[in-house]
């Protein structure tokens, strides 16, 4: 069953809409980004989420102290790592872990082996120069088409209403991650687009 994670949530009304539409997970970006929220803001927003709802803390090269604060907040089920974190660091995290692998060329798949044994899921996202996520652009999906699937993976990077069905058909991910394609502007979600996308994805289950 394909899962859909919506990321970059900053507003309570967008959070409530994501819950209403039954997105499978909600991501809060705690690292530098146009969609960044503080840990305190994430904690406050999480009060509008039903119990047991999967919440993901998105970080980039966090310090041990930052990781500890995220764990102690008790609101997150997952931590998603978007930097150059070591496998040893990820392995010690008691929450579920997602390791982002930024993709620009085939050589970027060399990172996969290092994290396969320690992360619960991998996430393939678009790399553009120094940007390793949140670009709103797709990468060449053929690069991961022959990925040896020893670990569940999430497809990210420019996934939206216009290409989600194509992405699912061609890449066959376990989950997709959506963000900028569902926005009016950074950090403000378009509820109509959210609803259209989730209906498209859920229609696959009815076939």
**pLDDT tens-digit series, residues 144-161:** 977 767 789 999 999 999
| pLDDT computed for residue 145 by the predictor | 78
| R_g over Cα of the chain | 16
The sign of the CA dihedral 155, 51, 193, 32 is negative
Q: Residue ranges per domain, the chain?
A: 3-205
Confirm whether 125 is a catalytic residue.
yes
Known catalytic residue: 7?
yes
* Helix locations, 21-96, DSSP H: 39-45, 64-73, 87-91
Pick among 3.30.420.40, 3.20.20.70, 3.40.640.10, 2.30.42.10: CATH of 3-205: 3.20.20.70
In this prediction, residue 207 carries a pLDDT of: 45
Contact (Cβ atoms closer than 8 angstroms) between residue 175 and residue 3: yes
Q: Which one, of 166, 167, 165, 171, lies nearest residue 197 by Cα?
A: 165
Mean pLDDT of the chain: 93
Tens of pLDDT, residue by residue over 20-41, are 999 999 999 999 999 999 999 9
Of 14, 31, 125, 177, catalytic = 125
Instruction: Express each pLDDT in 150-189 by its tens digit.
Output: 789 999 999 999 999 999 999 999 999 999 999 999 999 9
From the candidates 7, 14, 31, 177, give the one annotated as an active-site residue. Answer: 7
CA dist., res. 173 & res. 70, Å (int): 27
The average pLDDT across 131-151 equals: 77
| Count of helix runs (H) and strand runs (E) in the chain | 7, 10
For residue 202, give every residue at least 6 positions away whose Cβ sits within 8 Å of its Cβ, in sequence order, or none: none
């Amino acid at each position: 069953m394909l899962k859909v994670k919506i990321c970059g949530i900053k507003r309570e009304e967008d959070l409530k809409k994501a819950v209403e539409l039954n997105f499978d997970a909600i991501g809060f970006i705690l690292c530098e980004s146009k969609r960044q929220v503080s840990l305190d803001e994430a904690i406050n927003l999480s009060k509008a989420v039903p119990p047991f709802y999967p919440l993901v803390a998105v970080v980039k090269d966090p310090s041990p102290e930052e990781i500890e604060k995220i764990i102690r907040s008790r609101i997150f089920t997952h931590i998603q790592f978007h930097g150059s974190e070591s496998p040893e660091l990820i392995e010690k995290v008691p929450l579920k872990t997602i390791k982002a692998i930024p993709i620009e060329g085939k050589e970027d798949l060399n990172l996969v082996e290092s994290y396969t044994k320690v992360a619960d899921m991998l996430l393939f996202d678009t790399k553009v120069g120094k940007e390793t996520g949140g670009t709103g652009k797709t990468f060449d999906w053929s690069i991961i088409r022959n990925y040896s699937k020893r670990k569940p993976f999430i497809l990210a990077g420019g996934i939206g209403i216009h290409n989600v069905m194509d992405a699912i058909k061609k890449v066959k991910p376990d989950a997709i991650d959506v963000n900028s394609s569902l926005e009016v502007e950074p950090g403000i979600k378009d509820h109509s687009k959210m609803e259209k996308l989730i209906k498209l994805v859920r229609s696959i289950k009815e076939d």
